[in-house]
Amino acid sequence: MNVQHDAGDPRRTGLINAELRRLSPDLVAFQEVCDDQLAELIDGTGLTHTTHQSEVLKSSWRHGSVLATRWPHRVVDVQERRASAESDVHWWTLAAAVDVPELGELLFIHPSTPWRLDQAGAREEQLLAAVELDEQHRFRLPSIIAGDLNATPKSAGVRFLTGLQSLGGRSTQYHDAWAVAGDGTGFTWTVANPLAAAEIDRLLGQSRLRRRIDYVFVGSAHSHPDARARVLHTELIGDAPVDGVWLSDHFAVLTDLDYTLS
């Protein structure tokens, strides 16, 4: 879920918290979370283990990405590309091992990608690197890659993740949870959401744009021969106002996975 930090209606954080309490997720990839907002966001949700981007990068940024889990997790790797004289593109990816009761550890990878539409090359580089992280650190359980990727299903980076094309001579295959078990277009950043419409108009000057850019991917049987992660159900969260308030400019993606060992 992209939280859109603390912009707009001050009730949003409490309403997101209420939704999280209702849904009771085990693993959450948050984006754009203010460091002083996190406590209210997860209060009473059972998500007692968190890692905020500012902690990992030792930065003074006020907001960033967060991993929040019901069970203990530990950071196993971080990748970061900082802006340079040659490029103003900055991205980072966090990989954590989550201790799932009775099953063991799974690798949870959360990329925070550059957002501009003309930065597809940087996103492709980052997703290649995320797959390399998985290959280096994956466990017996199928890994999860989740987050706001700022890329549509037709983009080269997402097609690469889902096994529809190669990148840089490399190929892989993850299951896109929405493609497996979602219903409809799955647009997560769309002018149908007034908060997104305002951002889309400000950033892109468009009034009809609709994009599916938020994802949950899960590793396939090819890369995890001793375990399975079956996608049972996928839905959008926040795709309608709650008490007259839209939760964020992004709709969140909720996925139910059934993990079994062979």
Which domains are present in the chain? 12-261 (3.60.10.10)
* pLDDT single digits (tens) 46-70: 999 999 998 888 776 678 999 999 9
236, 254 Cβ separation under 8 angstroms: yes
pLDDT of 87 reads 72
19, 247 Cβ separation under 8 angstroms: yes
* pLDDT single digits (tens) 164-201: 999 999 999 999 999 999 999 999 999 999 999 999 99
Prediction pTM value: 0.96
Distance, in Å, from the CA atom of 124 to the CA atom of 237, rounded to the nearest integer, reads: 27
